[in-house]
Amino acid sequence: MIQLYIREDCPFCKKVDKAAQEMGLRPDKDYQLINAAPLTPGRDVVLKVGGKAMVPFMIDGDTTMYESDDIIAYLKSTV
């Protein structure tokens, strides 16, 4: 399942979530939203896997990426 690491106060994270839902993807069914606010386990994963404390961050198997537009383009091309 695709994992999207987000913060609730992040407009770029909301952009990715909205785009995914407009594509017909459903949270908790097609992708998982994970809180990556400071001092959360999600933030630890983002730092460990991606190396930067930046969101949104996506993990889909071996594919990882930052940048909302790149994540949206990826979702459009793979889902």
Residue 79, pLDDT score:
80
Residue 77 has pLDDT above 90, yes or no: yes
Residue ranges of alpha helices (H) inside 1-79 are: 11-22, 41-50, 68-78
Residue 31 has pLDDT above 90, yes or no: yes
**pLDDT confidence tier of residue 22, bands split at 50, 70 and 90:** very high
**Cα dist. 24→30, 47, 54, 79 in Å?**
9, 29, 26, 10
Residue 59, pLDDT score:
98
> Burial level of 55, CB count in 10 A (0-12/13-18/19+)?
buried
Instruction: Calculate mean pLDDT across residues 42-61.
Output: 97
Domains of the chain: 2-78 (3.40.30.10)
Instruction: Calculate mean pLDDT across residues 31-56.
Output: 97
Residue 6 has pLDDT above 90, yes or no: yes
